[in-house]
Structure 1
Amino acid sequence: MSDERYQLSTGDYLALDATAMAAAVKTGELTPRMLLSAAQARCDAVNPLVNAVNMRHDEHANSVLRARHHAGSELLGALAGVPMLLKDLNTYLTGTLTTNGSRMLADTPPATRNSTIVQRYEAAGMLIFGKTTSPEYGLTTTTESSLWGQTRNPWSLAHSAGGSSGGAAAAVAAGIVPVAHATDGGGSIRIPASYCGLFGLKPTRYRTPQGPDTFEGWFGASCGHVVSRSVRDSALLLDVSHGHEKGSPYWLAPQAISYSEAVRRSPGSLRIGVVDQAMTGLELDADIRSVLNTTVDLLLGLGHRVDPVTLPVDPQQVYGAHGAVGAAALLAAVRDRETVLGRPLHADELEPVSRYLVNNATSATAENLYRARRSFELIGSRMEHLFDDYDLLLSPVTSQITPELKVASLDQDYPHYIQGIIGSIGYSVLANVSGQPSMSVPLGTSSSGLPIGMMFSAGWCREDLLFQLAGQLEQASPWADRRAPL
Structure 2
Amino acid sequence: MTTHRVHAFRDDALAEHDAVALAQLIRTRDVSPEELAAAAAERVAAVEPCVRAIECSYDTPRFAADGLGCWYGVPTFVKDNTDIRGLPTTHGSAAFRAHTVDRDDAYTRQFLSTGVTVLGKSRLPEFGLIPTTEFRDADPARNPWNPEYSVGGSSGGAAALVAAGVVPVAHGNDGGGSIRIPASCTGLVALKPSRSRHLDNAQNRHLPIRVISEGVLTRTVRDTATYVAAAEKYWRNPDLIPIGMVDGPAERRMRVALLTTTPTGDEPDTETRVAVERAADLLEKAGHEVEPIAQPFSPQVAEDYIAYFGLLMQVTMLAGKYLHDPSFDRNRVEDITSGLARYYRRRIARMPGGYLRLRQSARTYAGIFRRYQVLLSPVLAQAVPPLGQLGPNGPADELIERLLHYMAYTPVNNVTGTPSIAVPMGLAESGVPLGAMLSAAYGDERTLIELAYLFEEENPFPRITDGAGDPAPPARGSSPRRRPSTRHR
Normalised to the residue count of structure 2, the TM-score between the two structures is 0.87
Matched with 1:87 is 79
Deviation at 1:170, TM superposition (A): 0.8
- The answer to whether structure 1 residue 32 and structure 2 residue 42 are counterparts is no
Deviation at 1:328, TM superposition (A): 1.5
Distance 1:214 1:304, change over 3 A: closer
Q: Which structure dedicates a bigger proportion of its chain to helix? A: 1
Matched with 1:355 is 338
Matched with 2:89 is 98
The whole-number CA distance in structure 2 between the counterparts of 1:461 and 1:103 is 37
Distance 1:464 1:245, change over 3 A: closer
- The answer to whether structure 1 residue 298 and structure 2 residue 278 are counterparts is no
Equivalence map 1:395-414=2 (5 Å): 395-414=377-396
Deviation at 1:240, TM superposition (A): 2.7
Matched with 2:316 is 333
- The answer to whether structure 1 residue 136 and structure 2 residue 126 are counterparts is yes
Q: 2:431 aligns with which of 449, 465, 482?
A: 449
Deviation at 1:264, TM superposition (A): 2.3
After superposition, what is the alpha-carbon deviation per residue over 1:212-237, rounded to whole angstroms, capped at 9, x for unaligned? 57525561212111111011111222
User: Which stretches in structure 2 are left out of the alignment for 5+ residues?
Assistant: 1-8, 472-489
Query: Is the CA contact 1:209–1:242 (under 8 Å) kept in the aligned structure 2?
Result: no
Q: Pick which of 164-173 and 11-20 moved more.
A: 11-20
Deviation at 1:292, TM superposition (A): 1.8
Matched with 1:3 is none
Distance 1:456 1:327, change over 3 A: same
Distance 1:362 1:112, change over 3 A: farther
The whole-number CA distance in structure 2 between the counterparts of 1:50 and 1:344 is 28
After superposition, what is the alpha-carbon deviation per residue over 1:223-265, rounded to whole angstroms, capped at 9, x for unaligned? 111111011111222223358979xxxx56243441xx32425
Q: Match for 2:367: what amino acid?
A: H
After superposition, what is the alpha-carbon deviation per residue over 1:286-307, rounded to whole angstroms, capped at 9, x for unaligned? 1122222222211111010011
The whole-number CA distance in structure 2 between the counterparts of 1:218 and 1:483 is 44
Deviation at 1:10, TM superposition (A): 3.9
Query: Is the CA contact 1:296–1:306 (under 8 Å) kept in the aligned structure 2?
Result: yes
Q: Match for 2:344: what amino acid?
A: A
The whole-number CA distance in structure 1 between the counterparts of 2:217 and 2:198 is 14
Distance 1:127 1:332, change over 3 A: same
The whole-number CA distance in structure 2 between the counterparts of 1:439 and 1:341 is 35
The whole-number CA distance in structure 1 between the counterparts of 2:127 and 2:372 is 35
Distance 1:189 1:373, change over 3 A: same
Query: Is the CA contact 1:144–1:151 (under 8 Å) kept in the aligned structure 2?
Result: yes
Deviation at 1:280, TM superposition (A): 2.7
The whole-number CA distance in structure 2 between the counterparts of 1:37 and 1:244 is 28
Matched with 1:121 is 111
The whole-number CA distance in structure 1 between the counterparts of 2:262 and 2:233 is 33
The whole-number CA distance in structure 2 between the counterparts of 1:121 and 1:343 is 30
Secondary structure of residue in 2 paired with 1:28: coil
Query: Is the CA contact 2:131–2:153 (under 8 Å) kept in the aligned structure 1?
Result: yes
Secondary structure of residue in 1 paired with 2:149: strand
The whole-number CA distance in structure 2 between the counterparts of 1:144 and 1:152 is 9
Query: Is the CA contact 2:260–2:267 (under 8 Å) kept in the aligned structure 1?
Result: no
Secondary structure of residue in 1 paired with 2:14: helix
Query: Is the CA contact 2:255–2:289 (under 8 Å) kept in the aligned structure 1?
Result: yes
The whole-number CA distance in structure 2 between the counterparts of 1:368 and 1:278 is 23
Matched with 2:481 is none
Q: Match for 2:132: what amino acid?
A: T
The whole-number CA distance in structure 2 between the counterparts of 1:325 and 1:431 is 15
Query: When the two structures are aligned, how many residues end up with a matched partner?
Result: 459
The whole-number CA distance in structure 1 between the counterparts of 2:233 and 2:407 is 29
User: With CA pairs under 8 Å and 6+ residues apart, which has the higher RCO, 1 or 2?
Assistant: 2
Matched with 1:161 is 151
After superposition, what is the alpha-carbon deviation per residue over 1:346-376, rounded to whole angstroms, capped at 9, x for unaligned? 52x11112112223435664x6444333223
Equivalence map 1:260-299=2 (5 Å): 261-299=245-283
After superposition, what is the alpha-carbon deviation per residue over 1:74-105, rounded to whole angstroms, capped at 9, x for unaligned? 3x21110011101112x101121111111123
The whole-number CA distance in structure 2 between the counterparts of 1:343 and 1:121 is 30
Distance 1:387 1:407, change over 3 A: same
Q: Match for 2:80: what amino acid?
A: D
Matched with 1:205 is 195
Q: Match for 1:321: what amino acid?
A: D
Deviation at 1:344, TM superposition (A): 8.1
Equivalence map 1:13-24=2 (5 Å): 13-24=14-25
Deviation at 1:324, TM superposition (A): 2.3
The whole-number CA distance in structure 2 between the counterparts of 1:169 and 1:144 is 14
The whole-number CA distance in structure 2 between the counterparts of 1:383 and 1:114 is 35
The whole-number CA distance in structure 2 between the counterparts of 1:245 and 1:112 is 23
Secondary structure of residue in 1 paired with 2:312: helix
Deviation at 1:447, TM superposition (A): 2.7
Query: Is the CA contact 2:110–2:235 (under 8 Å) kept in the aligned structure 1?
Result: no
Q: Match for 1:471: what amino acid?
A: Y
Q: 1:175 aligns with which of 159, 162, 165?
A: 165
The whole-number CA distance in structure 2 between the counterparts of 1:280 and 1:244 is 40
Query: Is the CA contact 2:374–2:438 (under 8 Å) kept in the aligned structure 1?
Result: yes
Q: Match for 1:103: what amino acid?
A: A
Distance 1:212 1:267, change over 3 A: farther
After superposition, what is the alpha-carbon deviation per residue over 1:170-193, rounded to whole angstroms, capped at 9, x for unaligned? 111111111111111111111111
Secondary structure of residue in 2 paired with 1:163: coil
How much is the aligned-residue C-alpha RMSD, in angstroms?
Answer: 2.4
Deviation at 1:14, TM superposition (A): 3.6
